[in-house]
Amino acid sequence: MLKYYNYDIVFQEIPNEVTLAINLSNCPNYCKGCHSPWLAKDIGEPLTKAAIIHLLNRYGNSITCVCLMGGDAEPKEVEQLGRVIRDEKSQLKVCWYSGKEKVPECVNSKVFQYIKLGGYIESLGGLRSKTTNQRLYKIKENGEKEDLTYTFWK
């Protein structure tokens, strides 16, 4: 079961989007230098369909995107919640920030409009670093990935 620790409205995670970022706990990646190491613990509240709908209704038209930050321990559940978001608010874009190197085969990436992949490697930096291993992709309707990582290097 996915759990969320907290959430916030952010402006820097996805280019040109006002994003409701939901921080998921129970991260299995244990990246050295992680900015949120407490998210490796099994903490927070269950992120159910009802909880997602409550957040969507709370923020209404104030957001243009929802980003599920983590969830690598339960990728199929992340996909299912992405579908819930799309079903409830079809105008919202859906993003998944994963610390894995590729999308798990069990997940249909076309559920998302954006996917960030790659664990944090301290010596390479995050998305703002030109040496980063992490990548932010825009997922096209045909499933192709367009690399948007360069947009963070301004």
The two structure tokens encoding residue 98: 């994963």
DSSP 8-state symbol, 140:
P
96 φ, ψ to 5°? -130, 125
Tracing tokens 């407490």 back to the chain, one arrives at 38
Per residue in 3-62, pLDDT (tens digit) is 999 999 999 999 999 999 999 999 999 888 888 989 999 999 999 999 999 999 999 899
Q: What is the pLDDT of residue 33?
A: 86
Is residue 68 a contact partner of residue 80, using CB atoms and an 8 Å limit?
A: no
Is residue 63 a contact partner of residue 9, using CB atoms and an 8 Å limit?
A: yes
Those residues with Cβ within 8 angstroms of residue 75's Cβ, 6 or more apart along the chain or in another chain = 98, 103, 104, 106, 107
Per residue in 116-151, pLDDT (tens digit) is 999 999 999 999 999 999 999 999 999 999 999 999
DSSP 8-state symbol, 58:
H
Those residues with Cβ within 8 angstroms of residue 115's Cβ, 6 or more apart along the chain or in another chain = 95, 96, 97, 98, 103, 109, 136, 137, 139, 145
87 φ, ψ to 5°? -70, -40
